[in-house]
Amino acid sequence: MAQESSHAARTSAPHRVVVIVDENSNPFELGCATEVFGLRRPELGRDLYDFRLCSPRPRTLMRDGFFTVTGVAGLEAAESADTLIVPNRPDVEVPRRAAVLDAIRRAHARGARLVGFCSGAFTLAEAGVLDGRRATAHWQWADSFRARFPSVRLETDVLFVDDGDILTAAGSTAALDLGLHIVRRDHGAEVANSVSRRLVFAAHRDGGQRQFVERPVPEVPDESLAPVLAWAQEHLDAPLTVTDLAARASVSAATLHRRFQAQLGTTPLAWLTGERLALACRLIERGEARFELVARHSGLGTTANLRALMRRKIGLTPVEYRHRFGPGTGAGPA
């Protein structure tokens, strides 16, 4: 499956995503990687990635022997990866295979992007590529991780960490959040939204959100945030405030804040800003070149505010984003 590489934008070289499957690897994260990077995308008119699996052995038992992987490429396939997803597994104290760690070191040395889902951070740290770097891992293993790898800057209360060429996700479902973040980084918000719709998964959860929420399911139906979220998404161009959202939900601002923290793991203002920024990106991808209109229609107000938020949250200015993901670039929506 071919696509245009995010690291060599506008070239014809396919961006290859390779997943290493090792003994006792978790099948859920492998499924997440396959769903995000491996499926054909007829709805986009093109495929996004060249995706393949590899393993150090011809027959690999996954997660306590419940699944067996055969017929995939050998570990040499990792040598051609532009993005290498490393093994994660529940037995975090068991050392990884030397051959796998060597493959990760070689990939890092030649500039490949490395991704670790859940306990995959242990694999990256054991390979030595996380020393002095930011990373996250499942909260359950935070103490163990810090004891073994004190030189890694572990962040335990986030969904995922994007540290440039090394990205880590905190837990199982956070693998989907990180996967969609990578698609958004490579192909823009519109394509990421298309992938998330096919997954029937939230299009965007910021990596800074908490790993877990106080109450995953509201105790009573009328405390659900779904109605006020849907209403706000239809009125992003209006000068909405947290007070407006609270009034719409018929609660105080303090109560609304508590519900956001409990149900979404973020604040109302952070959620609102994230939704507006995602809308601004989609408007630019669809061809709106007047950034003052982008800022106004997305509710971000001014071009200066749009520029500052995009640079801080995405790492690109509006002009840079348009050059990378706008119409006619080959990297935006089909």
54-95 pLDDT per residue, tens? 999 999 988 777 888 898 999 999 999 999 999 888 888 888
98-144 pLDDT per residue, tens? 999 999 999 999 999 999 998 999 999 999 999 999 999 988 889 99
175-214 pLDDT per residue, tens? 998 999 999 999 988 888 888 888 866 555 555 444 444 4
Who's near 248: CB < 8 A, 6+ residues apart? 228, 231, 232
Q: What is the pLDDT of residue 330?
A: 54
Q: What is the pLDDT of residue 221?
A: 40
Query: 165, 114 in Cβ contact below 8 A?
Result: yes
Count the alpha carbons within 13 Å of 318 in the hemisphere toward its beta carbon: 25
286-312 pLDDT per residue, tens? 899 899 999 999 999 999 999 999 998
Query: 292, 303 in Cβ contact below 8 A?
Result: yes
Parallel, antiparallel, or unpaired for β 134-135 and 67-70? unpaired
Q: What is the pTM of this model?
A: 0.70
- Summary mean pLDDT of the chain: 85
161-177 pLDDT per residue, tens? 999 999 999 877 789 98
Closest CA to 282 of 233, 240, 241: 233
C-alpha span between 69 and 19 (Å, rounded): 12
H/E run at residue 154: strand 153-154
In this prediction, what percent of the chain has a pLDDT beyond 90? Answer: 49
Q: What is the pLDDT of residue 198?
A: 81
Q: What is the mean pLDDT of residues 224-238?
A: 88
